[in-house]
Amino acid sequence: MLNTAPLAAATDSTNMNDDVLLDVRNLKMWFPRHKGFLGRDVSYIKAVDDVSFSIRKGETLGLVGESGCGKTTVGRCIMRVYEPTAGEIIYHERSSTTVDLAGLSRKQLIPYRQEIRMIFQDPYASLNPRMTVFEIVSEVLHVNHLASGSELEERVAQLLRRVGLRPEYMRRYPHTFSGGERQRIGIARALATNPRLIVADEAISALDVSIRAQILNLLKDLQDEFGLTYLFIAHDLSVVRHICNRVNVMYVGKLVESAESGIFYNFPKHPYTEALLSAVPIHNPRMRDKGRRIRLQGDVADPANPPSGCYFHPRCKYVQDVCKVQAPLLENNSDDQAKPHAAACHFAAELNLRGVVEQDRT
């Protein structure tokens, strides 16, 4: 059972960043699709297809890509909202032992659901309108017998204060709050059990631009104070640049690039990443003529019937014959082993791709 004493600040974040908290290995999530007479013919939508990555303790790992690329499905597999078709989700416990979350029953998952929590995209749909803020935030504590009575109320008050809300609001209902305040309630709910890993699924995309910076700063402050680890799922690369230490890019269910944030934004290795980065807004008007938008031709491949070879080749301006017949491996292209830069492209070492146009020049 977890300790429900007041949230304890992290003491050694430097050492934490050298360790792995979660290993995702060859993860697959295929959804069956029935067709034909009586639905007897079955094909599969390969929403996540053989994805592997790790999350270090105390870092923020960004998972980005277009809508429908499978990034949210990855997060839901980690949370075990979905039963993965194949693969391992290796969680490193506080006791230095490991467990494969993908192989646990729902009963066995209960203690790990306290350590791995989720912040949802829509602050309007993720809060039960029939429950007060107190009931929403305290529910996980009550269900898991982690607090009761006056201790429970004090814990909720403490959590609300920490996310920037007044404790006297705990008897109100969600409809009385703005979108930003509702997301703060969702963050308080996620913090209730002293988690180690938080999956933030498009946590700010539904908010006004003026509120996004506040929520991002709150997430960073909480991370610094409590040693939290984030899997930050997003499609806005300008936001990911602000908060993430490393970035993984997905395309049609596969991981196509992975790198440290600074390297990723300046020296992309995959043509799809180059196209995504070209869409990052350039705020400095003197630099806008240097940032031509790359507009990809065609549509995103169908995950139920992907093209042969590299899934991106029908839209890639650098395509060669080998791309059409042979799927590239996700391989490290960096000479610095301390900062690996992996890309699933046959020509990653040869292409000179454009990164984000520097914003700070005058």
Domain definitions of the chain by residue range: 16-244, 251-343
On the question of pLDDT at 26 being above 80, the answer is yes
The percentage of the chain sitting over the pLDDT mark of 70, rounded to a whole number, equals 88
In whole angstroms, give the CA distance from residue 173 to residue 179. Answer: 13
Break the chain down into helix, strand, coil percent, rounded to 5.
35, 20, 45
d(CA 161, CA 188): 9
Residues 166-203: pLDDT tens digits?
999 999 999 999 999 999 999 999 999 999 999 999 99
CB 38 within 8 A of CB 106: no
- As a whole-number percent, the residues of the chain with pLDDT over 90 amount to 68
- pLDDT tens track for 76-91: 999 999 999 999 999 9
Name the band, by pLDDT with cuts 50, 70 and 90, for residue 362.
very low
Mean pLDDT of 272-294: 75
Largest CA distance in the chain: 69
Q: What is the pLDDT of residue 3?
A: 44
CA-wise closest residue to 130 among 73, 181, 77, 175? 175
How far is the C-alpha of 85 from the C-alpha of 69, rounded, in Å?
17
Residue 261: count other Cβ atoms within 10 Å of its Cβ: 19
Residue 298 is predicted with a pLDDT of: 83
326 Cβ neighbours under 8 A, 6+ residues apart: 309, 310, 346
Question: Into which CATH architecture does domain 16-244 fall?
Answer: 3-Layer(aba) Sandwich (3.40)
pLDDT tens for each residue of 122-170: 888 999 999 999 999 999 998 888 887 888 999 999 999 999 999 999 9
Q: Which residue has the higher pLDDT, 283 or 206?
A: 206
Structure tokens at 338: 């301390």
The overall pTM is greater than 0.95: no
